[in-house]
Amino acid sequence: MHTVYNVFPGIDLIYQELESASCAAMTYNNTDDNILEINHCHEGRAEYRMKDGSFIYLGEGDMFISSMRNQIVKIEFPLKYYKGFTVIFYVDKLAENISQIDLLNDLNIDFDALWEKFLGNNQHLMIHSRDEIEHIFKGMYSAPKASRKTYFKLKMLELLVFLNFFEVSPEEQRKLYFQQQVETIKHIHKQIIENPNVNYTIEALSRQNFISPTTLKTYYKEIYGIPIAADIRTNRMKQACKLLSQSQIKISDIAREVGYNSPSKFAAAFNNFTGISPSEYRKKVCQIKSTSRDLSEHSLELCDRSCQALAENQSMGRDITELKLAEENLISERDRLYSLLDTLPAYVCLIAPDYTIRFTNINYRKRFGEVKGRLCHELYFNMCRPCRNCMAPAVFNGNKLEWEWVSHKNGIFQVFQYPFYDADGTVLMLELFIEITERKHMEDNIRLSKERIFKSFDDTPILKIYSSLGDMRCLDVSDDFLCYTGYSREELIDTALAELNVFDSRAVNEVVQKVLQHGSCSNYEILLRKKSGDVSTVLLSAEKAGLDGELVLSSISTNYYRLKMGG
């Protein structure tokens, strides 16, 4: 959605809210260089390809200033959504009208010096997220419609004051990226997405693509806004979800499909990602599909009965009264069918081939309001025509689809789409929305919690292990633990400590039971076996960790005799 506001003669403001991979760059009728374009990102991420071939990445809260001397020629959105404002200063036109605009005169700004500051030596400038920028733009995204015209005028004056006093410095410039670098990172991203079964390492990807590991990690996060290691894990889990929901492949085979040789390690990783086991996930998906299938079969039965009644009426030459009776029966059948949809604990709507919304159930109306009769692309994406990659035609042709919808107004939803036959035989599309916003936020909180725990590992010389509660499967260890035992990180991560015989399995089970019963245990004597085979007695303390208490943080003291002697 694009909305243009002419704030002052020579100052245009454009609001953009898009759920797309790209959009067209601004084009100007005026070929003069004296045009200044300012972009502010509120949500999402933008990739700007400049006239000179360089690339700039705009993150949330950032503001990017460019001129026609090196203008934006192509825009892409790596996260497939974007929300922000574009401010355009037509310098010459504004200069002609400044004397007639009292508000601008009152600013006492030397506009010639202002334009020279940004149109002179600096062809573009990135200003990172800061409180002053946030203060200017934040209220603009929620301004009441009735007062926007006046409010936007005040905000443009505030922006001009900020630009007037802003000192351009080299530190404000973000590093430029050029085509070869960007294409390399995008090639690696595509490689990761298309091959979830491959166990990629940053070192291997670096060697294959002739790029250093540090550069790979830095550029990848700059372009996609997420660390490459996290993106690899997320992609593998999303592919696993897809296979679990759309096929009957064995879970052990799915594990191999997404790069896990051990089904137990896959199950643990999947549980960490979704909060449930693979089998539970498949069971829930099957329950939803079964409900939809029952509804679809019921609608087909109603359709057959209705068509049969109409055919019999025609063949027997019944009068108009009986036809009206059949119509009434048809309406009654439809009402019963819609009543059944009202009982579903999901957000449900029916969409016709002309993209109009025919029906919404009670839960849908409570959440999204009364939208019957509206066009789906208009409602969901503020578009005047069907989406370019619309999946509805495939559903009307008999396909069943599942996808994830991220709406920055309403939340995150798992969407299921099925062909559906109305009581009169019309083919409709049944959409079921299952909200997963809370689950997604919980995943983020769990990830942040784990990161904080992992970060604390190297802050103390005491040996530390971070493991799952059930099988003491190692999730991370401190560097001191690796040094003391002689194991490498790769040998320990994702492996149950009992498998390596690092600790006595009986003692491990006792520690787990104490933590389950009391939440922690302190100074438990246990034998620790190094990789060399040497055995030493240590004191192990353990406590629950993680948001749900499903993890164990263990601290190990190797100074056994000193602690036993009391100091």
The model's pTM is 0.47
CA–CA distance from 340 to each of 134, 295, 386 (Å)? 48, 8, 29
End-to-end CA separation in angstroms for the chain? 69
| pLDDT higher than 80, residue 20 | yes
pLDDT in tens, 269-282: 888 887 888 888 88
Of the ranges 159-173, 215-229, 275-289, 412-426, the best mean pLDDT one: 215-229
Q: Say if residue 457's pLDDT is above 70.
A: no
Among the ranges given (110-119, 246-255, 466-475, 513-522), the one the predictor scored with the smallest mean pLDDT: 466-475
Q: Is the pLDDT of residue 381 over 90?
A: no
d(CA 301, CA 313): 18
Do residues 151 and 139 make contact, with C-beta atoms less than 8 angstroms apart? yes
Task: Give me the mean pLDDT over the 465-473 stretch.
Answer: 73
In 3D space, the residue among 8, 140, 125 whose CA is nearest the CA of residue 65 turns out to be 125
Q: Could you tell me which residues come within 8 angstroms of residue 399 by beta carbon, excluding any fewer than 6 positions away?
A: 419
How many CB atoms lie under 10 A from the CB of residue 366? 10
Q: What is the DSSP string of 237-284?
A: HHHHHHHHHH----HHHHHHHTT-S-HHHHHHHHHHHHSS-HHHHHHH
